[in-house]
Structures are given as structure tokens and as C-alpha cells.
């Protein structure tokens, strides 16, 4: 669409074009600029939205399977309630990608970052709780030890609550100090206005990402150290691999994010969100679903995790 604001009559009649317009090469007319943002109506935005919705259905489907088989050993192992919470938060992780698509406004700029940060920290906190439960269980060599109190599900639930609460506090400080907001870039592309979200405080954004990275690293270390523990349903190896994928995705995200602009920068962030969340679902839960559906003979009580007694 072109809108003529003025035509030069002589060399002394120049005026500056409004910010939402740009001049032609001869500087004789002003044209209306095109707005650029990741839209649902384009192929890229529609594809990412579809993947996001499908990705959210996968953990919900697995949650339904787990609830239906809630009394089987493979579901009861490693804290059943944490598995339910992890699947529920993974669903939110996939759905939060939808907040990054469409015309950015200040409220969506705020919600997209906060939902993303809190839901992913909740996921990693659940995984950390499940991993620590395995480590504690296999290190309790005395059945009547006072340390058996740490096997209580309330302890791991408290761990998840505290870890998630820290991220909530960081996000609240971000909101109070310098929250994300809608921003228009008139300079990067000629004839185009890039509508995007400004992070507000880069320090607060770095804190949310850094805290998430810290928890993921801690989870990886604990899972790696417990990967050789016995037990048919020990999740440590699966969690180790899932954290490797998670870390690889977000480490690769940094240079890709910094080297793109406009809607493609948003698409890179969405891709990282969907890739990391689907990696967690695939590595941790699909092997269990395979056993429940395809190999029910392996889902027996005598194959459940046990506390190994000291043989010395």
C-alpha cells in the first residue's frame, strides 16, 4: 500500500516523513511502511503454532496413560505425583510458544517471558526432585535410618516449590523494575517497521535464563552420578540424556538468537522452547509409555526399584 504525503515542488520544500513512513530514492514521496512480526497467517507462524499445539497434546496423552495405569510399578516409581506435575508443566512449556506469535503488545510481552521462565523452572525442578529421590533411596542402607524421612514425597514437593518460588521472585523483581514492553524498530529495515518485544531489563532476563541453566546443570550432575545405580526403573540415564539435549538446545540458541532480527529471532526462540520441551518428553516418558503399552510383562512389581542393603 502506498500513501503519498507530499510532492516536492522545489528544492526548498522538503519535510521529514512520519516515523511510520519512509521516502523513496528521489525523496519525493512518503510511503506507508510495512509492519513485520511473526503472524499466525504466514507459513512460519502457522507451522510453529501447529507444532506447539500438537506438542502440548503429547504430555497430556502420556498423563492420561499414567493415570490409567497409576498402580503399576513403572508409574509409582520415582514419585508418581512429580511425574504428573512434570507432564502438566511440560504442556504449559509447549503452549507458551503461542504467546510469541502474533502482534506483540505489552501484556503479551510480559506474559510470554514469565510463563516461559516459570514453567521451565518447574519442569527442571520436578526432574531434579525425581533424580534426588533415586539417589537418596539407593544410599539408605539402613532401613530404620533417620534419613528415611527424605524419602517422603513432601520433601521433594517442597524442593520443587522452593526452586519455582525463586524464579517467581526473580520475575516479580523484573516486573517491578523494568518489565518487557512492545517496541517498534524503524531503523533496521528500509520500508519496514519491526514490531517486537523489548526485554526491558537485560539483567533480569539474564537472571531468569541463568537460574534455569543452573538448575539444569545441577540436575545433569546429580543424574550423571546416579546413572550406574541398579534398578529396572532407574530414570537417571534417561534424565542425563534429556539434560544433555536440553543444554545443547539452549547453548545453540544463544548464537542463533543474537545473529537474527525481527520475526526470525522470535522463531528461533520458539524453536528452542519446542525442541527442549519435546526432548524432555521424549527422553523421560516415551520409554515408559513403550513398556506400559508394548511390554507389559516388564511392568511387574518384582522389577521395581528397591533399596539395596549393605552387603559388607
Q: What's the pLDDT at 305?
A: 42
Place of cell 504449559: 92
Query: Minimum mean pLDDT among 14-23, 194-203, 283-292: which range?
Result: 14-23
pLDDT tens digits for 6-44?
444 454 567 676 666 666 666 666 766 778 889 999 999
Residue 108 reports pLDDT greater than 70:
yes
Contact 40/64 with Cβ under 8 angstroms?
A: no
The proportion of the chain whose per-residue pLDDT surpasses 70, expressed as a percent, equals 78
Map out the domains of the chain with their CATH numbers.
1-32 (no CATH), 35-298 (1.20.1070.10)
Query: Minimum mean pLDDT among 134-148, 187-201, 210-224: which range?
Result: 134-148
Residue 46 reports pLDDT greater than 50:
yes
**pLDDT-based confidence at residue 57 (cuts at 50, 70, 90):** very high
Core vs surface per residue 196-232: b (16+ CB within 10 A) or e:
bbbbbbeebbebbbebbeebbebbbebbbebbebebb
Q: What's the pLDDT at 31?
A: 65
Q: What is the 8-class DSSP label of residue 303?
A: G
Q: What's the pLDDT at 183?
A: 87
pLDDT tens digits for 240-256?
889 999 999 999 988 88
Core vs surface per residue 62-71: b (16+ CB within 10 A) or e:
bbebbeebee
Mean pLDDT across the chain, nearest whole number? 82
Contact 247/217 with Cβ under 8 angstroms?
A: yes
Helix (H, G, I), strand (E, B) or coil at 197: strand
**What's the rounded Cα separation, in Å, for the pair 135 and 122?**
20
Residue-wise DSSP of 129-169: HHHHHHHHHHH--STT-GGGGGGSHHHHHHHHHHHHHHHHH
Q: What's the pLDDT at 21?
A: 67
pLDDT tens digits for 115-172?
999 999 999 999 998 888 777 666 655 455 555 555 555 778 888 999 999 999 999 9
Residue 272 reports pLDDT greater than 90:
yes
Amino acid at each position: 500500500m502506498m500513501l503519498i504525503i507530499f510532492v516536492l515542488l522545489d528544492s526548498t520544500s522538503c519535510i521529514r516523513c512520519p516515523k511510520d513512513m519512509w521516502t523513496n530514492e528521489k525523496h519525493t514521496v512518503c510511503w506507508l511502511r510495512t509492519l513485520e512480526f511473526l503472524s499466525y497467517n504466514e507459513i512460519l507462524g502457522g507451522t510453529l503454532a501447529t507444532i506447539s499445539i500438537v506438542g502440548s497434546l503429547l504430555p497430556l496423552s502420556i498423563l492420561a496413560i499414567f493415570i490409567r495405569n497409576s498402580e503399576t510399578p513403572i508409574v509409582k516409581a520415582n514419585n508418581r505425583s512429580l511425574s504428573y506435575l512434570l507432564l502438566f508443566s511440560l504442556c504449559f512449556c509447549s503452549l507458551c510458544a503461542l504467546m510469541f506469535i502474533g502482534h506483540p503488545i505489552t501484556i503479551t510481552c510480559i506474559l510470554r517471558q514469565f510463563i516461559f521462565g516459570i514453567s521451565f523452572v518447574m519442569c527442571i525442578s520436578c526432574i531434579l526432585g525425581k533424580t534426588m529421590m533415586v539417589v537418596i533411596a539407593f544410599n539408605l542402607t539402613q532401613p530404620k535410618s533417620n534419613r528415611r524421612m527424605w524419602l517422603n514425597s513432601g520433601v521433594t514437593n517442597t524442593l520443587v516449590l522452593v526452586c519455582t518460588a525463586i524464579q517467581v521472585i526473580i520475575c516479580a523483581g523484573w516486573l517491578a523494575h523494568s518489565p518487557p514492553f512492545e517496541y517498534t524498530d524503524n531503523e533496521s529495515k528500509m520500508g519496514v517497521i519491526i514490531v517486537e518485544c523489548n526485554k526491558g531489563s537485560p539483567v533480569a532476563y539474564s537472571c531468569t535464563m541463568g537460574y534455569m541453566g543452573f538448575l539444569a546443570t545441577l540436575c545433569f550432575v546429580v543424574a550423571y552420578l546416579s546413572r550406574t545405580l541398579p534398578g529396572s526403573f532407574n530414570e537417571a540415564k534417561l534424565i542425563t540424556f534429556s539434560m544433555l539435549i536440553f543444554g545443547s538446545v539452549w547453548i545453540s540458541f544463544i548464537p542463533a538468537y543474537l545473529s537474527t532480527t525481527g520475526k526470525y529471532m522470535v522463531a528461533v526462540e520458539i524453536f528452542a522452547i519446542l525442541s527442549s520441551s519435546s526432548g524432555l518428553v521424549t527422553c523421560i516418558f516415551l520409554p515408559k509409555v513403550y513398556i506400559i503399552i508394548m511390554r507389559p510383562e516388564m511392568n511387574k512389581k518384582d522389577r521395581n526399584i528397591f533399596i539395596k542393603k549393605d552387603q559388607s
